[in-house]
Amino acid sequence: MSTVQKKAPLNPVTPSHALEFGGHLCTPILTLLTPITIYGLYFSCSSPSGCPAPFAQWIPNFLELDWLRGFLDPTAFLIYFGWYAFTVAAWKFLPGDLVEGTELRAGGRKTYKINAFSTLLLALGLTTGRIIHAGAESFTFLYDHYLGLITASLVMSVGQALWVQANSYKGDQEKKLLAVGGNSGFFWYDFWMGRELNPSIGDFDIKTFNELRPGLILWMLLDISCACEQWCRLGGRITPSMAMVVFFHSFYVVDAVFNESAIFTQMDITTDGFGFMLSLGDLAWVPFTYSLQARYLAFHPTELSPAAIAGIVGLQTVGYYIFRTSNGEKNDFRLGHNPKNLTSMQTERGTKLLTSGWWGRSRHPNYLGDWLMAWAWCLPAGFDTPIPYFYVVYFGILLVHRQTRDDEQCKLKYGKDWDKYCKLVPYKIIPYIY
> Using CA of residue 292, residue 298, residue 304, residue 306, what is the dihedral sign?
positive
Q: Which stretch binds ligand NDP (CB under 6 A): 167-175, 213-221, 295-303, 328-336?
A: 328-336
- 3 state DSSP class of 158: helix
Residue 429 contacts residue 403 (beta carbons within 8 Å): yes
364 binding ligand NDP? (CB under 6 A): yes
**74: Cβ–Cβ under 8 A, 6 or more apart, which residues?**
148
| Per CB under 6 A, 340 contacts ligand NDP | no
By the rule CB under 6 A, 220 interacts with ligand NDP: no
Binding status of residue 333 toward ligand NDP by CB under 6 A? yes
Strands of 340-385 (E only): list them. 344-346, 352-354
Collapse the DSSP code of 204 into the 3-class scheme (helix H, G, I; strand E, B; otherwise coil) and give the result. strand
Is 354 near ligand NDP (CB under 6 A)?
Answer: yes
Question: Shortest Cβ distance from residue 286 to ligand NDP (Å)?
Answer: 6
Residue 239 contacts residue 301 (beta carbons within 8 Å): yes
- How many Å apart are CA 39 and CA 36, to the nearest integer? 5
Taking the C-alpha atoms of residue 204 and residue 89, their distance in angstroms, rounded to an integer, is: 11
Site string for ligand NDP, 254-273 (x = CB under 6 A): ------------xx------
Q: Which stretch binds ligand NDP (CB under 6 A): 44-52, 57-65, 217-225, 408-416?
A: 408-416
Q: Does 219 bind ligand NDP (CB under 6 A)?
A: no
Shortest distance (Å) from residue 305 CB to ligand NDP? 29
Count, residues near ligand NDP per rule CB under 6 A: 20
**Closer residue to ligand NDP in complex, CB, 228/353:** 353
Q: Which of 334, 340, 411, 420 binds ligand NDP (CB under 6 A)?
A: 334
The verdict on 402 binding ligand NDP (CB under 6 A) reads yes
> Contacts with ligand NDP in 266-305 (CB under 6 A)?
266-267
Measured from the CB atom, the residue of 239 and 326 that comes closer to ligand NDP is: 326
Query: Minimum distance between the CB of residue 325 and ligand NDP, rounded to whole angstroms?
Result: 11
351 touching ligand NDP, by CB under 6 A = yes
Q: Is 378 in the site for ligand NDP (CB under 6 A)?
A: no
Q: Considering the rule CB under 6 A, would residue 211 count as an interface residue with ligand NDP?
A: no
Strands (E), 156-234: 200-201, 204-205
Nearer to ligand NDP, 231 or 333 (CB): 333
Shortest CB 57 distance to ligand NDP, Å: 29
Q: Which residue in 266, 223, 226, 231 sits closest to 248, CA to CA?
A: 223
Q: In terms of C-beta density within 10 A (0-12 exposed, 13-18 middle, 19 or more buried), how is residue 32 classed?
A: exposed
Cα(5)–Cα(3) distance, rounded to whole angstroms?
A: 6
DSSP string, 31-86: HHHHHHHHHHHHHHSBTTTBSSPPGGGTS--TTSHHHHHHHT-HHHHHHHHHHHHH
Supply the minimum distance, in Å, between the C-beta of residue 281 and ligand NDP. 7
Binding flag, residue 323, ligand NDP (CB under 6 A): yes
Among 176, 295, 330, 428, binds ligand NDP (CB under 6 A): 330
Taking alpha carbons only, the member of 88, 125, 96, 138 closest to residue 113 is 96
- 359 forms part of the interface with ligand NDP (CB under 6 A): yes
Torsion angle of the four alpha carbons 227, 232, 234, 236, in this order, in degrees rounded to the nearest 10? 90
- 130 or 405: whose CB is closer to ligand NDP? 405
Binding of ligand NDP at residue 411 (CB under 6 A)? no
The dihedrals phi and psi of 205, each to the nearest 5 degrees, come to: -90, 110
Cα separation, 412 vs 98, in Å, equals: 31
Shortest CB 316 distance to ligand NDP, Å: 14
CB–CB of 232/136 below 8 Å? yes
Close Cβ partners of 173 (under 8 Å, ≥ 6 residues apart): 11
Q: Which is nearer to ligand NDP, 18 or 309 (CB)?
A: 18
* 207 in contact with ligand NDP (CB under 6 A): no
Residue 366 as a binder of ligand NDP (CB under 6 A): the answer is yes
Query: Which residue, 145 or 330, has its beta carbon nearer to ligand NDP?
Result: 330
* Cis-peptide into 48, omega within 30 deg: yes
Min CB(349)–ligand NDP separation in Å: 8
Given the complex with ligand NDP, which of 208 and 239 has the nearer CB atom?
Answer: 208
List the beta bridge partners of residue 352.
Answer: 346
- Shorter beta-carbon distance to ligand NDP: residue 185 or 426: 426
**Pairing outcome for strands 109-114 and 200-201:** unpaired
Applying CB under 6 A, the residues found at the interface with ligand NDP are 266-267, 323, 327, 330, 333-334, 351, 353-354, 359, 364, 366-367, 370, 402, 406, 409-410, 413
